[in-house]
Structure 1
Amino acid sequence: MSDTLQSTLRRKPSLIHVAELARVSPVTVARTFTGSAPVAEKTRQSVVAAAKQLGYMPNLLARGLRGGRTQTIGILWSLGGPHAAVQMTRNLTVRVQRRGYVPSVMDNTFDDIEISKTLEDYSHRGIDGVIVEWGPPVPKDKNLHLLLKRFPAVVAITPSYQGLEVDEIIQDRLGAISDVAKHFAATGRTRPGIIMPINNAKEKVDAFVKTLEEKGIPLSKIATIDCPWGASQVFTQTYYDILEERFPKGQCLPDCLFCGADEGAIAAVAWAKSRGMRVPEDIAIVGFNDGDGLKFLEPPIASISRHNYDVANAVEELLFSRLDKPELPIRNKKISMEFVWRESAG
């Protein structure tokens, strides 16, 4: 290593120092970090290694203000509620970092004003692309649709097709929910219940109730239980407490229960056992999100899988192909959720 490079290690390194160590031109280093022109993979690896050795960090913010690439991806995703949300965020950040980009994660509270503020902030900072969980509930402010168009690449994950004029992944849940209801009816259940945040899950509730009615179970026999929650609440305990309040001792209990999250299903199993009920003989229970540990519980808990790994792969493909080829037509990809039967469902 030259004397110049040795002294560089004792002060803030520059693009020129990276070029000297990697034995390439400063222009090649700039192209490596900006993506402004193709760079051979072997050369790119040499530049990245040299930058890492020197501790060089490109000024992404300044580059964004000049209209260049910042190598930054905004991820606007709900971080509240069940663990599955955090797991999905991790799936996305890993893929973004693997592509050489820096993820900027913000909590999506599904409040139109907060979403607008976040997108404005991303825009001012020159974020290259945005991954956004678009409901439910789906934002109604049309100005948000216009904000999305400011970014070179956007992937919106939606519960149904929204026509946002950006790439969409439609994460259809209604078919799987209908399958849960069909299973309850087919196994002779006659007193079904559904517990979840009703205001944020109207489509889920409607799909469940409609299917049961089609199978001959009237609305009057279906217990619809609202379970509102917020970031400060203990999620599993909330489900347990609401079930305890909704069904006082001595009242007729449901013989099957569909829960809006796996944590709710875990709470429901504990609650049922506290009431002397057997799962699934006396009450069948199904969760939502298909968390990793459900199959190891007693009994193993049925759920609905979001196929999050497939969704994350689809996000990666759509986002980075759009950054590489902005002229691509708008694309929509449907990934359906799936009812995963386990013993708790009966």
Structure 2
Amino acid sequence: MKKRIVIALGGNALGDTLEEQMIAVKSTAKAIVDLIEEGDEVIISHGNGPQVGMINSAMTEFHKTNMKYSICPMSVCVAMSQGYIGYDLQNAIREELLNRNINKGVATIITQVEVDERDKAFENPTKPIGAFMTKKEADSIVKEGKKVIEDSGRGYRRVIASPKPIRIVEIETIKALIENNQVVIACGGGGIPVISKGNHLKGVGAVVDKDYASAVLAKEINADCLVILTAVEKVAINFGKKDEQWLNEVNVNEMKLFLKSGYFAPGSMKPKVEAAIEFVESRKDRYSIITLLEKAKEGILGKTGTRIVNFSTKVKAD
């Protein structure tokens, strides 16, 4: 039976540089078109961590050498990242569709996501952006007044505010395209963060987590399934330890207990699990899958990945 699926692409589906992205989107497109070929409606969102950091750094350096130009706001950097990632992604998907004789249009929507200016996240920046840095590079960034964290043992990264998404501004446009059999790429990088001032939308210096934005998108377009793609085939508890367990199917109440017990790292698996729970709880027959890009089709077929559901008989783990 045809399903409406939102796929939230992780960074590994896009690469870190322009050259890596050009290569990565080809295999990403194949995995996405596999699902379209099965008859499912597929809507795509994606991250932009390395890309928006690169844009921000480049525009800041440009300002230093051309002082008459102001520093580029983060909201504009997010918009730029949506455009250039969407450009590569939609062309790769279009080409793969044509290679399989599937006649569908593909469009990237420059998407704004409203946030609350009173969100506590603005007081405590936590969202990693940009490339990983050495300790020496991180110390240099800190001297400039920017906040840096050590990111899950992988190196140091700059962090900025990450407020929760409230609504998707262009949702009616997205719905119209879906209803007209188009493949839509939306909420890139979590969406351009804006606050509402009457009829005016004002960009803010933040990055919305793409998993949370994807959950909002999936709910608002009435999706059946939210697929969150990451660097592992399944979610684990006690990850990297002797008693590590990989989860197959888990109901939301059990997943909440794992979350409360601190099994999932902030900035890594935690927002994915939280987003999956939020989506699944929004309607009793919805489910979410967390898995690898190349395992997306198998995950939807129930053959792999961690499936989060409203009801299950017990926690199943390997």
TM-score, scaled relative to structure 1: 0.27
Larger Rg: 1
TM-score (norm 2): 0.29
**Bigger share in strand:** 2
